[in-house]
Amino acid sequence: MRQRWNANLAALIMGGLLLAGCASHDKARQEPVALPETGYEVRSPVRFSPDDWPEPLFADLYLPQRPDPAPAVLLVHGGGWERRSREDMTWIAEELAGRGFAVMNIDYRFAPEYTFPAQLHDLQVAMRWLRQQATTYRIDPDAISAFGFSSGAHLVSLLALTSDPRNPLSKPHGGPGARPVAVVAGGIPSDLRRFDSGRLIRQFLGGTEQEKPEIYRLASPMAHVSPDAPPFFLFHGNLDMLVPPEQAEEFHNALLAKGVHSELYLMHLRGHITSFLTAGNAVEQATEFLVRFGGGPSHQP
């Protein structure tokens, strides 16, 4: 099995600060789920965007070796909606594939060349493509979850919360066919109205909140929380200065208030970047969550 996280890089960043158990969970610790290791193959690059899409988009597909159709995870990288690549998520894709999940690790279009909701449309198209290819790749179309970090966490959360056909963001590419059955979101900016129209937000949304208040509302997952939301697993660094932990905490509480299953895993002594680079324990917990809630209807509690 490949390394769950880059121990050497983590050691350089965190030195001797990382101690066993330096995270807290808002729920009682779940009994570990049996997760047998699984071999897998990788197909890359695979184009998932339509021929007439504004920009060709590609993914890496991780296909586990198992006799039955596999549950799947749509994996989305961070980078402030303006940079980085799907390579950042490779280690998480390997972790999930090694535990029996099919994984689609995707690219999406960047700001400022493309503004919201272009990035959400990319995810909606990716989710629909994955479901359409379920038979080809031996995937369970009723057991597709989504996992993202930072801006990727923001996008997968919007994907999950705006699939109702009555939601204006569901058109023209969303709808129920784009809805994940469970969501993992790390370092999530859940309410873009709380960032004082910072540069990354301005170029992503095409202006300030004063200029585009409705766009800021529509682009905030917090504004779309409803009782129909799928289960969420949130992880966040408690020392995150870029995306304050209150963004995860308030989002978590809003989900619970609507009766939605939500778990919050706060990582002690972590900022925004270090909560990703040293997210091994959080990813283990997230994988157990996906086994419980993303393994298909017959596997859910």
- Per-residue H/E/C for 112-173: CCCCCCHHHHHHHHHHHHHHHCCCCCCEEEEEEEEEEECHHHHHHHHHHHCCCCCCHHHCCC
Backbone angles phi, psi at 122, to 5 degrees: -60, -45
What is the structure's pLDDT at 216?
98
Euclidean distance between CA atoms 286 and 96, whole angstroms: 10
Looking at residue 26, what is its pLDDT? Answer: 53
Order across the sheet with 40-47: list the strands: 23-25, 262-267, 232-237, 183-186, 139-149, 70-76, 102-106, 58-64, 40-47
Tens of pLDDT along the chain (301 residues) come to 434 333 333 333 333 333 333 455 554 334 444 456 789 999 999 999 999 999 999 999 999 999 999 999 999 999 999 999 999 999 999 999 999 999 999 999 999 999 999 999 999 999 999 999 999 999 999 999 999 999 999 999 999 999 999 999 999 999 999 999 999 999 999 999 999 999 999 999 999 999 999 999 999 999 999 999 999 999 999 999 999 999 999 999 999 999 999 999 999 999 999 999 999 899 999 999 999 999 844 343 3
Q: Using CB atoms within 10 A of its CB, is residue 31 exposed (0-12), middle (13-18) or buried (19+)?
A: exposed
Nearest to 137 by CA among 90, 102, 178: 102
Tokens 């969303």 sit on residue = 174
CB-based contacts of 7, cutoff 8 Å, min separation 6? none
What single letter denotes the amino acid at residue 23?
A
CB 269 within 8 A of CB 275: no
Q: What tokens does 115 get?
A: 């503004």
The pTM of the full predicted model, rounded to 2 decimals, is: 0.88
Measured between alpha carbons, how far is 181 from 130 in angstroms, rounded to an integer? 14
What domains, with CATH codes, occur in the chain? 39-296 (3.40.50.1820)
Q: In whole angstroms, give the CA distance from residue 223 to residue 191.
A: 8
- Residue 38: predicted pLDDT: 83
Residue of 204, 201, 186 lying closest to 252 (CA atoms): 186
SS (H, E, C) 42-61: EEEEEECCCCCCCCCCEEEE
